[in-house]
Amino acid sequence: MTHFEPLLRAENVVVEYGSRRNTKRVLHEVSLDVGDGECVGLVGESGSGKSTLGKAILGLVPVASGSITFDGRDITRLSGRARRQLAADIQVVFQDPYGSLNPMMTIGEILAEPLSAAGTSRAEARRTVGEMLERVNLPGSVTDRYPSEFSGGQRQRIAIARALVRKPRLIICDEPVSALDLTTQATVLDLLIELQRDTGVSYLFVSHDLGVVRRICHRVAVMFRGNLVEIGDGERVTRDPQHLYSQRLLAASPVADPVLQAERREAWLALRAADER
Ligand SMILES: Nc1ncnc2c1ncn2[C@@H]1O[C@H](COP(=O)(O)OP(=O)(O)OP(=O)(O)O)[C@@H](O)[C@H]1O
C-alpha cells in the first residue's frame, strides 16, 4: 500500500453558522488528511457538511476550534494577505461551470487573470495559458471566445485550466461533475486523473455521488450530520460496491461507540439509497 505524507491536515475542525445567540454547529471536530498526489473523496448526504469543510480549508468560513495545516503550516486563521498568497497553492473547482466563469470575459482573460493578479508578465501569462489549455485538451484558439460559446463539459475544462494556471498543490473539487451528463462526467473525471498523474496535484473531491468518488479517489471519507464517520482506504480501481458497503464499512467496523456505529450505518444506507436512485 502506498503511504502518503499529509499535505493537508484538518484536526478536530469545528464550524458553526449563525449568530452568537443562535449557533448551529455544522462540523463536529472533523479530522482528515490529504497526501501529496492523493485524491481523497468526501461523500455524504446533502447537508452533511462536505462543502463546509472545503470552505473552511479555503478560509471562506471561520473555524471555531481545531486547526488546518497545509504543508506543515497552520492556515486556520490567516490574514487576508496571507490567504491571497496561499491561493497559488490551494485552488477550487465548483459544480457550476456556468456560474463560475465570468460571461463578460474571454477565455484568455479568464485564464490570465489569476496570473496577472500575481504579477506575472503578459508574455509569460500567455505561454502558461496556452500550456494549460493544451493540458485540458482545448485548442489555443478558444482564448478569444466567451464562456457562453461552450458546452457544460468544455466550460468545466476551462474552469479546471483556470484552477491549474498557478500550479496549485491542492484543488478542492466541489461536486465538479454533478451538473454534467454521464458521458461528459466520465471524460472530465479521466482528465482530472490524468492531470493528477502528470502534475502530482492533490484533490479533495467533494461529492454526494459514490459512483463518481469510487472512480477517482484513493481514499473515501464519509460525512454524516457534521461528523466524519468513516474513512476507507479505497483505491481508484475499486468499482465493486459490495467491497465498499459490506466488507469494509457496514460489517467490519470495530467501533466501540454505539452512537458512532449507528451513524456509520445510517450514513452508508443513505448513500446507498442515493446511489441507487
Ligand atoms: N451560510 C450558511 N448559514 C447557515 N447554515 C449553513 C450555511 N451554509 C450551510 N449551512 C448548513 O450547514 C450544513 C452543512 O451544509 P453543507 O453545504 O456543508 O453540506 P453538504 O454536505 O455540502 O451538502 P450538499 O451536498 O447539499 O452540498 C447544512 O445543514 C446547511 O444547511
Nearest CA to 43 among 201, 162, 235, 214? 214
Cα–ligand 1 centroid distance for 17 (angstroms) = 9
For ligand 1, atom 29, name the residue with the nearest CA.
Answer: 47
* Any ligand 1 atom below 6 A from CB of 95: no
pLDDT the model gives residue 3 = 44
* Any ligand 1 atom below 6 A from CB of 44: yes
Q: Summarize pLDDT for 161-194 with one digit per residue, the tens.
A: 999 999 999 999 998 888 888 889 999 999 999 9
DSSP helix, strand, coil percent of the chain (3-state; round to 5)? 40, 25, 35
* Any ligand 1 atom below 6 A from CB of 76: no
Cα–ligand 1 centroid distance for 273 (angstroms) = 20
Q: Summarize pLDDT for 82-111 with one digit per residue, the tens.
A: 998 898 899 999 887 677 889 999 999 999
Most confident of 190-199, 226-235, 256-265: 190-199
pLDDT the model gives residue 243 = 41
Q: Summarize pLDDT for 51-68 with one digit per residue, the tens.
A: 999 999 999 999 999 999
Note the pTM of the prediction, 2 decimals.
0.86
CA dihedral 81, 131, 42, 177 (to 10 degrees): 120
- How does residue 143 score in pLDDT terms, banded at 50, 70 and 90? very high
Cα–ligand 1 centroid distance for 122 (angstroms) = 39
pLDDT the model gives residue 235 = 56
- Ligand 1, from 27, 52, 92: best to mutate by most atoms within 8 Å of Cβ? 52
- How does residue 259 score in pLDDT terms, banded at 50, 70 and 90? low
Quote the distance between the C-alpha of residue 251 and its chain's center.
Answer: 28
Cα–ligand 1 centroid distance for 52 (angstroms) = 6
